[in-house]
Amino acid sequence: MNLVTINIDSIRVGQPLPFTLRGEDGTLLAHKGFVVATRESLKVASGGRTQLFIDVDESDDFRRAYVGKLYDLVREDRALGQIAEAQIASKDLGANRNDTAEDISDWLDLQIQANAMLRDTHAETFQPKLAKLQRQLTRHLQGNPDGTLFALIHLSASEVKLYSATHAMLVSVMCSLAAREVLKWSSEQQATVGSAALTMNIGMTELQDRLSMQKQAPSPEQRRQIDQHPALSVAGLQKRGITQASWLEAVAHHHDRIPGALDSRPEGLRMARLIQRADMFAARLAPRASRVPEPPAAAMQACYFDENRQIDPAGAALIKTVGIYSPGSLVRLATNEIAVVTQRGSNTTTPKVAVLINRSGMPTGELIVRDTSQRDYKIVASVPHREVKVQINLERLLPLTKVAASDRPWD
């Protein structure tokens, strides 16, 4: 059950309920279709409660309205942390949205789905949630890989709420994309490494979210949980009915720090090394209450070299896939303009970008697209997100990310 508060004053008198009403503990209060005759009858039906809830999983209409409300918060430049207080009125149900709005709503919805999946301990509900989430991520990757990277890198670099969910999705899509585009793994292996990445930290989901907001260093007990979380994650997955050996092996060893070639390793350990490198990148990218994040280019370069300061095959595969300057990252051009990367380019250092701040230091009114393979617009530096005060508007920028991955020379 995924209960979300509804604004009680928005329920329309004299009309059938478009959803089932529940109490805070999930108790059924009124079936979908029940007609609220008067405010007094609503009070009786609700047992005098001041808060009413809807199970998001029961209502597709409500889910669309709820993620639409989250999208509106983003458009208004609200923090994603405000989603916990978002409420839905009856008038929001069935609202029409354009394609771009649906794209943005999709990413906010996927954060919610991933968060619910990671906290679900029951095999009969966990596995369908995971399968649904992976199907949707695969659809995004196949349809618009640059937009997928842009959305997740932007959300990872700019928001600490729902950290575990966003982190898991970013690592998963990076590994899946590298497995497909560079390593040429089979579709089954791509799916397995994606699933392993999504669930690698399932043994410490709550702790991971708590640590992202915690200013002090981890306590001894928290450190113990961190050290034990690969084994705890494997045990949790087995409890949830996961038996695939390579998946479990990848999760068990995703924090191993063993440099060397990928090809000589067993399948599960190849996946574990790819996850370890992507996990390192995503962790360095994300802001924490206790530290500032690294720019994406610096985080990517860190995973390129192994523990012996040699080129790491898994890290190199990720850089070939994502680029030194990945979609969603911020860069400074030779023109002294600051831009956001929207598309991967013909090589790892020449992406397409959209200018956010002009050479005079002022925000641009209209987005200006630059090709950084041109000498006049080459990238001269990576820029940390915290140094740019301009709000990244997903509604305006996501349409600029749409390009076929097959246009890239290594496909």
**105 plus 134 within the same structural domain:** yes
If one counts the domains in the chain, the total is 3
Q: Token pair of 229, please?
A: 């979380």
> Over 90: is that where the pLDDT of 12 sits?
no
**178 plus 294 within the same structural domain:** yes
Q: Average pLDDT of 148-152?
A: 94
Task: Name the amino acid, one letter, at 195.
Answer: S
**261 plus 366 within the same structural domain:** no
Residue 77 Cα to chain centre, angstroms: 18
Edge-first strand order for the sheet with 28-30 is: 3-6, 52-55, 21-22, 28-30
**182 plus 128 within the same structural domain:** yes
Q: Judge whether 92 lies within some domain.
A: no
Q: In which domain, by residue range, is 347 found?
A: 330-407
Q: Judge whether 158 lies within some domain.
A: yes
Q: Token pair of 127, please?
A: 């596995």
What is the tens place of the pLDDT at every residue in 328-384?
A: 999 999 999 999 999 999 888 999 999 999 999 998 878 899 999 999 999 999 998
Nearest one of 206, 195, 208, 275 to 241, comparing CA atoms: 195
- Check residue 402 and give its pLDDT: 86
CA distance 247 to 234: 9
**223 plus 285 within the same structural domain:** yes
The structure tokens 């609200």 sit at 78
**313 plus 338 within the same structural domain:** no
**More reliable by pLDDT, 66 or 287:** 287
Cβ neighbours of 127 (radius 10 Å): 15
The model carries a pTM of 0.75
- Check residue 4 and give its pLDDT: 64
CA distance 327 to 351: 8
The structure tokens 């209409």 sit at 61
User: Residue 81: CB partners within 8 Å, gap ≥ 6?
Assistant: 159, 160, 161
**133 plus 270 within the same structural domain:** yes
Q: Is 339 helix (H, G, I), strand (E, B) or coil?
A: strand
**DSSP character for 305?**
B
Q: Is 364 helix (H, G, I), strand (E, B) or coil?
A: strand
Alpha helices in 259-406 (DSSP H): 267-285, 296-304, 313-322, 394-397
Q: Judge whether 250 lies within some domain.
A: yes
Q: Token pair of 162, please?
A: 């729902």
Nearest one of 391, 347, 402 to 369, comparing CA atoms: 402
Cβ neighbours of 82 (radius 10 Å): 13
**122 plus 155 within the same structural domain:** yes
**298 plus 215 within the same structural domain:** yes
Helix, strand counts (H, E) of the chain:
14, 9
Q: Token pair of 379, please?
A: 């990238």
What is the tens place of the pLDDT at every residue in 271-293?
A: 999 999 999 999 988 887 777 77
Nearest one of 218, 193, 216 to 208, comparing CA atoms: 218
Q: Average pLDDT of 74-94?
A: 43
CA distance 152 to 166: 7
| Contact in structure between 106 and 27 (CB atoms under 8 Å) | no
- Name the strand (E) or helix (H) holding 357: strand 352-357
Nearest one of 251, 300, 296 to 275, comparing CA atoms: 251
**226 plus 366 within the same structural domain:** no
**DSSP character for 349?**
T
CA distance 150 to 154: 6
> Over 80: is that where the pLDDT of 104 sits?
no
- How would you classify the pairing of strands 363-371 and 352-357? antiparallel
Q: Judge whether 47 lies within some domain.
A: yes
- Name the strand (E) or helix (H) holding 231: helix 220-239
The domain spanning residue 264 has which CATH number?
Answer: 1.10.3210.10
- Check residue 160 and give its pLDDT: 74
Q: Judge whether 74 lies within some domain.
A: no
Q: Judge whether 225 lies within some domain.
A: yes
What is the tens place of the pLDDT at every residue in 214-263?
A: 888 999 999 999 999 999 999 999 999 999 999 999 999 999 999 999 99
**Least confident interval from 90-99, 169-178, 303-312:** 90-99
